[in-house]
C-alpha cells in the first residue's frame, strides 16, 4: 500500500522543493492480537504532523506520518470482538492500555504505555507492522500512520462512529475536535455565561471556539496573526477579534473586557501565544494550553501574579478526552448543528500533495486540510 514516509527531520522549506515526505509502496503486516486493519478514507493534516517534519517534535525515522484519520474496518485481529468488517471508525492518537494509573483514573489521554509507544514509533504492544520491500521497518506515527491507503492500529486507537458521517468530516473528530472542544468542556469546564479567549485560530483553536459557543460562553475573544482567520472566528461565534501581533493587544483586550477574561485557551503551540493568553485573563482567571512547542522552549512566569491574583495555569492533552465517550457526543452535536465542524475544512487534497500542503500549513494559509488516499 502507498504511504507518505518521512526520511529526514528538519529539512528547510519550501517543502514542495525539499520534499521531506515521499509517497512509497510499503508492506503492511496483518493485524496481530488486539489490532485492526483499516482502509483509510480521509486523513487530516495537523500541526503535530508539521512539528515532526520541522523537528519541533522529534520522532524516529523513517516514519509514515498522519494521526487524524477516518476509515473502514477491513480485518480484525484475535481478541477484537466489538468491531466488525465494514464498521466506520475514527482514529485516536494516544492508545490506552486500560490498566496504568492514568487509565485507572479515567484519564486515558495520559496512558503511560501509550505515550511510551508513541515516542518509540510503535504500536502500543511494541510492534511495528510497516516495512519496506527489503524488510526495513518503518515507524508508526502516534500509533496511527494514516497518511496512507491502509493502517494497522491497536483496537484502543479506534472509535466506532456513525456510518453516515462523511469521512472528510469524521477525520477531524480524532484530533482537532477532541483537542479543541475537549480543552474547553473537559479541562476548562467552561460554564454558561463565562468569558473566554482563544489564542491561535488553527483547526484546534477554532474547534475550541466552537466548543465555547456550544458551552454558552457569553463573550468569546479570538486572537490570531491572520486577519482571515479572525474573520472566520467572528463568523463562527466569536464576539471580538484582535490582532495577536499588536504589541498593545493584551492591554486592549483587558480594557475591552473590564479587566480580562475568566478563561483563556492557548492553541498556537508557541510560548509568546501562551504568555498572551495568561496576560488577557482577569484576577482569579485560568489559562489552559493545548499547544505543543519545542521541548527546549520555556515560559517566564511572574510568581507574584500567580499567587497574589490566584491565577491558574494548566495543560490539556487531547482535551482531557475519554475518546470512546467524547467522540460520539461531539458527532451528535455536529449532527444537530451545534458544532459546525465542517466549517473548519479548508480543502480536500490527494495524498501526493502532502509536501505542498505542509507549506500551506506552515504559512498559516489554511485551517484544516484533509487528504484522500
> Is residue 172 pLDDT above 90, yes or no?
yes
- What is the pLDDT at residue 330? 98
> Is residue 125 pLDDT above 90, yes or no?
no
> Is residue 369 pLDDT above 90, yes or no?
yes
- What is the pLDDT at residue 95? 87
Q: How confident is the model at residue 272 (pLDDT cuts 50, 70, 90)?
A: very high
Determine the average pLDDT of the residues in 32-46: 97
Beta pairing, strands 88-91 & 130-131: unpaired
Determine the average pLDDT of the residues in 68-81: 98
Q: How confident is the model at residue 367 (pLDDT cuts 50, 70, 90)?
A: very high
Q: How confident is the model at residue 365 (pLDDT cuts 50, 70, 90)?
A: confident
- What is the pLDDT at residue 26? 98
Determine the average pLDDT of the residues in 315-344: 97
Task: Encode pLDDT of 84-101 as tens digits.
Answer: 999 999 999 998 998 999
Between 165 and 98, residue with greater pLDDT: 165
Q: What percent of the chain has pLDDT over 70?
A: 100
Determine the average pLDDT of the residues in 343-371: 96
Asked whether the whole model's pTM tops 0.85, one would answer: yes
Range list of β-strands (E), the chain = 2-6, 21-25, 27-28, 35-45, 63-64, 68-76, 88-91, 130-131, 137-140, 150-154, 158-160, 195-199, 219-224, 240-243, 261-266, 281-289, 312-315, 345-350, 368-372
Give the three-class secondary structure for 188.
coil
The mean pLDDT of the chain is: 96
Q: How confident is the model at residue 109 (pLDDT cuts 50, 70, 90)?
A: very high
Task: Encode pLDDT of 247-264 as tens digits.
Answer: 999 999 999 999 999 999
Task: Encode pLDDT of 201-223 as tens digits.
Answer: 999 999 999 999 999 999 999 99
Delineate the domains of the chain, giving CATH numbers in brackets. Answer: 2-174+340-372 (3.90.180.10), 180-318 (3.40.50.720)
> Is residue 294 pLDDT above 90, yes or no?
no
- What is the pLDDT at residue 264? 98
Amino acid at each position: 500500500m502507498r504511504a507518505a514516509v518521512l526520511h529526514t527531520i528538519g529539512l528547510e522549506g519550501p517543502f514542495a522543493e525539499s520534499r521531506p515526505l515521499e509517497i512509497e509502496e510499503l508492506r503492511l503486516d496483518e493485524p496481530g492480537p488486539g489490532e485492526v486493519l483499516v482502509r483509510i478514507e480521509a486523513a487530516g493534516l495537523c500541526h503535530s504532523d508539521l512539528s515532526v517534519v520541522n523537528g519541533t517534535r522529534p520522532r524516529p525515522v523513517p516514519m509514515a506520518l498522519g494521526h487524524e484519520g477516518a476509515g473502514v474496518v477491513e480485518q480484525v485481529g484475535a481478541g477484537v470482538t466489538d468491531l466488525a468488517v465494514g464498521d466506520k471508525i475514527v482514529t485516536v492518537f494516544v492508545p490506552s492500555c486500560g490498566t496504568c494509573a492514568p487509565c485507572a483514573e479515567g484519564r486515558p489521554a495520559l496512558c503511560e504505555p501509550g505515550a511510551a509507544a508513541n515516542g518509540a514509533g510503535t504500536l502500543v504492544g511494541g510492534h511495528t507492522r510497516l516495512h519496506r520491500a527489503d524488510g526495513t521497518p518503518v515507524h508508526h506515527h502516534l500509533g496511527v500512520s494514516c497518511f496512507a491507503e491502509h493502517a494497522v492500529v491497536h483496537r484502543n486507537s479506534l472509535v466506532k462512529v456513525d456510518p453516515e458521517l462523511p469521512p472528510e468530516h469524521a477525520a477531524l473528530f480524532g484530533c482537532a475536535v477532541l483537542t479543541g472542544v475537549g480543552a474547553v468542556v473537559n479541562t476548562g469546564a467552561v460554564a454558561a455565561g463565562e468569558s473566554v479567549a482563544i489564542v491561535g485560530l488553527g483547526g484546534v483553536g477554532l474547534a475550541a471556539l466552537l466548543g465555547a459557543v456550544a458551552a454558552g460562553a457569553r463573550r468569546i475573544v479570538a486572537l490570531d496573526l491572520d486577519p482571515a482567520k479572525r474573520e472566520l472566528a467572528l463568523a463562527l461565534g466569536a464576539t471580538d477579534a484582535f490582532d495577536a501581533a499588536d504589541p498593545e493587544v493584551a492591554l486592549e483586550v483587558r480594557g475591552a473586557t473590564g479587566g480580562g477574561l475568566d478563561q483563556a485557551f492557548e492553541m498556537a503551540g508557541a510560548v509568546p501565544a501562551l504568555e498572551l493568553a495568561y496576560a488577557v485573563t482577569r484576577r482569579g482567571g485560568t489559562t489552559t494550553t493545548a499547544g505543543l512547542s519545542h521541548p527546549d522552549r520555556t515560559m517566564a512566569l511572574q510568581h507574584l501574579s500567580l499567587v497574589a491574583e490566584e491565577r491558574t495555569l494548566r495543560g490539556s492533552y487531547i482535551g482531557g478526552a475519554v475518546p470512546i465517550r467524547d467522540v460520539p457526543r461531539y458527532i451528535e452535536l455536529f449532527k444537530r448543528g451545534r458544532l459546525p465542524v465542517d466549517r473548519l475544512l479548508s480543502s480536500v487534497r490527494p495524498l501526493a500533495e502532502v509536501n505542498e500542503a505542509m507549506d500551506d500549513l506552515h504559512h498559516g494559509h489554511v485551517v484544516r486540510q484533509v487528504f484522500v488516499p
